[in-house]
Amino acid sequence: MRGNSFSAGDLSALLKALNTLEIAHDDPFLSITDPDGHRRRLFTDFRGASISTSGGLQQQVTVAGWEDDVLVVETTPDSGPRLIQRYRLDAGTTQLVILSEVVIPQLTAPLQVRYVYEPVTSGATSELSPSSRRSPAQSLQ
């Protein structure tokens, strides 16, 4: 992303579906780790966290907090689209449902993608992997 331009590659990176997620929660701290070892560290009490990045990438602010039983994570970069993610654990199926919404100023409505993860237990760790039941929005590439 440069300035106000936004490419298809930027969108793909923003909405990349991950094979597994490792999640640790010790209220108000939440850690989400992907298979490549990239870790997001969030506070779930609506305190803002300014994230500076190196290598020519832009600075962004992420705020996370609970709205009833849904964790809402909003990431706002200096320029480019705003990402709002809603994490909800389905009590009946134990699936983690993540609704990602990308707000792009040039579009009349946000782009929404829904991810569904199944719990996976391997040894002492519990991870989440994508469900075999995919919504039509998940098949976007």
Percent of the chain with pLDDT over 70: 66
Q: pLDDT tens-digit profile of 81-129?
A: 889 999 999 988 889 999 999 998 888 899 899 989 888 765 544 455 5
Return the beta strands (E) in 19-69 as ranges. 22-26, 29-33, 39-43, 45-51, 60-67
The total of other beta-carbon atoms located within 10 Å of residue 81's CB is 22
What type of residue sits at position 29?
Answer: F
Which of the pair, 116 or 4, is modelled with greater confidence? 116
pLDDT for position 114 = 92
Distance CA 52, CA 92 (A): 39
Any bridge partners for residue 128, and if so which? 21, 119
With beta carbons less than 8 A apart as the criterion, state whether 80 and 6 touch. yes
3-state secondary structure of 12: helix
Q: What is the mean pLDDT of residues 13-25?
A: 74
Band the pLDDT of 37: cuts 50, 70, 90: confident
pLDDT for position 60 = 81
Q: What is the pTM of this model?
A: 0.71
Tokens of 105: 């100023």
Q: Torsion over CA of 47, 49, 50 and 54, rounded to 10 degrees?
A: 180
Which of the pair, 23 or 20, is modelled with greater confidence? 23
Distance CA 134, CA 116 (A): 7
Distance between alpha carbon 9 and the CA centroid of its chain, in Å? 17
Q: Please name the residue ranges forming H helices in the chain.
A: 8-14
The CATH number for 8-128, chosen from 3.90.75.20, 1.10.287.90, 2.40.128.20, 3.30.565.10, is 2.40.128.20
Q: Kindly tell me if the per-residue pLDDT of 72 is higher than 70.
A: yes
With beta carbons less than 8 A apart as the criterion, state whether 72 and 85 touch. yes
